[in-house]
Amino acid sequence: MQHKNFSKITEIILTGFQNSQSLNYFYFLLLLVIYCVTVCGNLIIILVVAYSRLFHSPMYFFLTQLSFLDILLSTTIVPNLLRILFHEGGFVSFFGCLTQYHFFLASESLECLLLTVMSYDRYQAICNPLHYTSIMDLTFCIKAILLCYLIMLVVILTFSVTMSHLDFCGPNIIDHFFCDFNPVLELSCSDTYLINIEGVVVCVPLVVCPFTLIIVSYVYIIATIMKIQSVTGRQKTFSTCSSHLSVVSLYYGSLIASYLFPNEKSAKKTFSLFYTVITPLLNPIIYSLSNRHIKEALKRLFLKMC
């Protein structure tokens, strides 16, 4: 077989959801509204936290980082998805496809790591309250975020170097609504054993370890909460981590489900849509509805604007 270098493939066809055009127009309008609400909602969270001294704490510092990542993830996926829906399938350059994949990988990697750091913050706040301020100071928070970005860069560079040695012969059709890892590799006519092994290995520090640490953190958190004598005290303490627990459940639930059905493309698309589009929409809503301080700050901001 004559191999073609990936640089010679100029376009990739993303099939999207393969619905009727009238249904695609409905999804186009729905996703356009979701995207606008997602970006505006997360921007509001960032601005409220930035301009209020009440929110100058580690939990809200990490929340602004989460909101930024939600905007990044949504912007990486949704605009191109809207174009696919409007044109009933979309063409994207191969370079553009790889670029989208790397931005997707970056935002997903950072979100997994950030949710772990946020669970550690909640662990220290509930299980070690006397030393919380000395441990979770600004220096530690900045170092934790920088470490997340460093790990992400190592992962991106690893995949980039390996993928640059692959040949892609086509067909240049991806049965998905964005350029994900497995659909892109299916276009390769090279031996993908090494990069598949890298994918499995990378899942350990990016998915398995963070998820395990989050579970362990909440085991200790719940054990500490159960030791509180009063029901009111338990409810008040649990409310400080309920938002994060909800976000973790939604994110990891849909992420894990999407990889449990690797051969069920319709199910994988549905779950992928949930953690790439719906979760970034719900995160600011969850934090706004369950956090009294944010709700009050939003009310004050709304009254000032009116």
- Average pLDDT of the residues in 112-118: 96
Q: Give the SS3 label for residue 186.
A: coil
Residue 91: helix, strand or coil by DSSP?
Answer: strand
pLDDT band for position 2 (cuts 50, 70, 90):
very low
Give the pLDDT band of residue 8 (cuts 50, 70, 90): low
pLDDT in tens, 207-260: 889 999 999 999 999 999 999 999 999 998 998 898 999 999 999 988 888 777
User: Which position has the higher pLDDT, 39 or 170?
Assistant: 39
What's the rounded Cα separation, in Å, for the pair 277 and 269? 11
What pLDDT shows up at residue 33? 97
Q: How many CB atoms lie within 10 A of CB 29?
A: 12
Could you tell me where the DSSP H helices lie in 51-137? Answer: 58-87, 94-127, 132-135
Q: Percent of the chain, pLDDT > 70?
A: 95
Rounded CA separation 122/127 (Å)? 8
**Residue 4's pLDDT is what?**
43
- In the chain, where the domains are located: 9-305
* 292 dihedral zone (left: phi>0; alpha: psi -120 to 50; beta): alpha
Calpha distance 112→104 (Å, rounded): 12
Q: Read off the pLDDT of each residue in 270-287 and give the average, rounded to a whole number.
A: 91
Rounded CA-CA distance 74/86 in Å is: 18
pLDDT (mean) for 141-164: 93
Predicted TM-score of the model (pTM): 0.91
**pLDDT surpassing 60 at residue 24:** yes
pLDDT digits (tens, 9 = 90+) for 96-106: 999 999 999 99
* Predicted pLDDT of residue 223: 96
Identify the weakest region by mean pLDDT among 28-42, 68-82, 126-140, 245-259.
245-259
Beta strands at 11-14 and 173-174: parallel, antiparallel or unpaired: parallel
Architecture in CATH of 9-305: Up-down Bundle (1.20)
Q: How many CA atoms lie within 13 A of 297 on its CB side?
A: 21
Average pLDDT taken over every residue of the chain = 87
- Does residue 5 carry a pLDDT above 70? no
Q: Say whether pLDDT at 293 is over 80.
A: no
* Per-residue pLDDT at 289: 73
Please answer whether residues 43 and 75 qualify as being in contact, where contact means their C-beta atoms are separated by less than 8 angstroms.
no
At residue 300, does pLDDT exceed 80? Answer: no
The span from the CA of 169 to the CA of 186, in Å, is: 10
Higher pLDDT, 18 or 108: 108
Checking if the pLDDT of 76 tops 70, the result is: yes
Buried b / exposed e across 288-302, counting CB within 10 Å, b at 16+? bebbeebeebeeeee
Confidence of residue 3 (pLDDT cuts 50, 70, 90): very low
Q: Per residue in 167-216, pLDDT tens?
A: 887 678 888 889 988 888 888 888 888 898 988 888 888 888 999 999 99
